């Protein structure tokens, strides 16, 4: 394996990274790896508790991919054992432990989705139950003696919970130790994580050092701000864009972000090089509208391909800008001469979750037939042969009613 010159590698690695502890050590390792021809071991742990990946997760996965492309060995740890604890980082609640079956299913889903970002062929996948489950109580005691309570509770997620009288279970203290033990076991050279992982990553460093290994380099990426423009992207805030999301939704959701997010998203979610990024920065200012569309298209194309991205753009223009019924709207057929209540048609098509909701929408002007709002709850349609009606329910649900 031939490696790029160290400074070129560093340039790629640095992109979008918040902090590297430390860069000198990293350069040093890259140098040695280049000389010996041995790739670095890059560790990323994943938590198989919530299997649906979103663009927020993709930031760190993309970073791992970059290391792969530079010729290094990416190791993805499925935290099947640590998932039984639940990472307390940034949490204000104890997480409920999962069953073995749930973890297994989640891990599979996770890999399917992560495979869209990573090079699966070159990826090493390990399960941390392989070594953590083997540890004796004795080993656990020795491990937990390495960190003091004071150090633990100075973390703000713990101290905050402590101050607010929220419960902290004792086993949560073991999480960073377990994660650190992973690094010791794998003898990792670099560990990746979000900025919220700093404490955990540093524990890995400390444990390696105490075990006579050279401590891993810690690389942190920023937490991606979600579609609400405020909080980090997360499923529980419902401000996320899933990796598996269909192209139309993906495109539309990207377009929803605030203007000042456009640039960071380019930086963290796309492959533009530093020159292109610089150009983008200027573009965002000059023409936010089109630049945002470009962002939406780029991101959608990464996960669904160019063609789907282009279709998504058209879909958006059609439905949101021109407020027309999209070409791919569901079609419902009715026998000519029959009469149906619109309420029932909507219910049968599953466009709303209850008749109450449909009535509410009607009252608010959210239901229309061929561009005409229907506000009468008892509205009935008698179909004539060959008739075609465009039904719109809410902002994004469409159907074409046909009479045969």
* Contact set with RNA (CB under 7 A): 165-167, 228-229, 238, 248-249, 251-253, 255-256, 258-259, 288-289, 292, 316, 319-321, 343, 347, 353-357, 359-361, 364-366, 377-378, 394-396
- Nearest approach, Cβ of residue 247 and RNA (Å): 10
* Contact present, 92 and 161 (Cβ < 8 Å): yes
Comparison of 32 and 396: residue with beta carbon closer to RNA? 396
Can you spell out the DSSP letters for 16-80? T-SEEETHHHHHHHHHHHHHHTPPPEEEEEE-TTS---BHHHHHHHHHHHHHHHTT-EEEEEE-T
> For residues 103 and 81, what is the distance between their CA atoms, to the nearest angstrom?
9
Tokens standing for 267? 């930086």
Comparison of 78 and 152: residue with beta carbon closer to RNA? 152
Comparison of 129 and 355: residue with beta carbon closer to RNA? 355
Within 10 A of 327 (CB to CB), how many other CB atoms are there? 11
- Nearest approach, Cβ of residue 154 and RNA (Å): 17
Best CA proximity match to 217, nearest among 348, 48, 28: 28
Best CA proximity match to 189, nearest among 86, 43, 79, 32: 43
Comparison of 83 and 361: residue with beta carbon closer to RNA? 361
> For residues 125 and 115, what is the distance between their CA atoms, to the nearest angstrom?
12
Comparison of 215 and 366: residue with beta carbon closer to RNA? 366
Comparison of 201 and 351: residue with beta carbon closer to RNA? 351
Peptide bond into 22 cis (omega under 30): yes
> For residues 308 and 250, what is the distance between their CA atoms, to the nearest angstrom?
11
Comparison of 21 and 295: residue with beta carbon closer to RNA? 295
Q: Is 220 helix (H, G, I), strand (E, B) or coil?
A: strand
Report the DSSP beta bridge partners of residue 373.
368
Within 10 A of 245 (CB to CB), how many other CB atoms are there? 19
- Nearest approach, Cβ of residue 108 and RNA (Å): 27
- Nearest approach, Cβ of residue 395 and RNA (Å): 3
Kindly report the backbone phi and psi dihedral angles of residue 361, in degrees, each rounded to the nearest multiple of 5, phi listed first.
-60, -40
Task: Identify each DSSP E strand in 116-186 by its residue range.
Answer: 124-127
Comparison of 16 and 366: residue with beta carbon closer to RNA? 366
- Nearest approach, Cβ of residue 333 and RNA (Å): 22
Report the DSSP beta bridge partners of residue 369.
372, 391
- Nearest approach, Cβ of residue 310 and RNA (Å): 15
Comparison of 167 and 386: residue with beta carbon closer to RNA? 167
Best CA proximity match to 350, nearest among 373, 364, 332, 365: 332
- Nearest approach, Cβ of residue 375 and RNA (Å): 10
- Nearest approach, Cβ of residue 127 and RNA (Å): 29
> For residues 401 and 348, what is the distance between their CA atoms, to the nearest angstrom?
12
- Nearest approach, Cβ of residue 348 and RNA (Å): 11
Comparison of 63 and 161: residue with beta carbon closer to RNA? 161
- Nearest approach, Cβ of residue 94 and RNA (Å): 8
Kindly report the backbone phi and psi dihedral angles of residue 43, in degrees, each rounded to the nearest multiple of 5, phi listed first.
-105, 135
């Amino acid at each position: 394996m031939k490696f790029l010159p160290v400074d070129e590698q560093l340039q790629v690695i640095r992109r979008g990274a918040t902090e590297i502890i430390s860069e000198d050590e990293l350069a040093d390792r890259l140098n040695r790896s280049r000389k010996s021809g041995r790739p670095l071991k890059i560790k990323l742990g994943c938590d198989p508790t919530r299997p649906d990946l979103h663009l927020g997760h993709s930031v760190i996965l993309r970073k791992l991919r970059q290391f792969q492309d530079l010729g290094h060995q990416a190791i993805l740890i499925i935290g099947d054992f640590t998932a039984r604890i639940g990472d307390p980082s940034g949490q204000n609640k104890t997480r409920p432990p999962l069953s073995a079956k749930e973890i297994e299913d989640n891990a599979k889903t996770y890999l399917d989705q992560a495979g869209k970002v990573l090079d699966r062929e070159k990826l090493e996948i390990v399960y941390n139950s392989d070594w953590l489950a083997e540890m004796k109580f004795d080993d656990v005691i020795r491990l937990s003696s390495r960190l003091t309570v004071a150090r633990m509770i100075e973390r703000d997620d713990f101290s905050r919970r402590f101050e607010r009288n929220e419960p902290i279970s004792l086993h949560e203290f073991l999480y960073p130790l377990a994660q650190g033990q992973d690094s010791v076991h794998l003898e990792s050279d670099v560990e990746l994580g979000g900025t919220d992982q700093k404490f955990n990553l540093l524990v890995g460093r400390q444990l390696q050092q105490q075990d006579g290994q050279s401590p891993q380099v810690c690389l942190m990426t920023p937490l991606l701000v979600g579609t609400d423009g405020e909080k980090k992207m997360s499923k529980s805030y419902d401000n996320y864009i899933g990796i598996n999301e269909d192209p139309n939704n993906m495109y539309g959701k990207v377009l929803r972000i605030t203007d000042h997010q456009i640039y960071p998203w380019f930086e963290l979610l796309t492959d533009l090089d530093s020159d292109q990024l610089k150009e983008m920065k200027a573009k965002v200012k000059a023409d936010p509208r089109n630049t945002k569309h470009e962002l939406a298209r780029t991101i959608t194309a990464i996960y669904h391909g160019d063609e789907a991205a282009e279709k998504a753009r058209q879909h958006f223009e059609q439905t949101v800008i021109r407020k027309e019924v999209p070409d791919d709207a569901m079609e419902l057929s009715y026998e000519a001469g029959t009469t149906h209540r619109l309420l029932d048609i909507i219910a049968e098509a599953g466009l709303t979750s209850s008749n109450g909701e449909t009535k509410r929408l009607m009252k608010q002007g959210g239901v229309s037939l061929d561009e005409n709002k229907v506000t009468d709850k008892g509205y009935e349609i008698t179909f004539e042969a060959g008739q075609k009606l465009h039904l719109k329910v809410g902002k994004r649900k469409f159907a074409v009613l046909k009479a045969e």
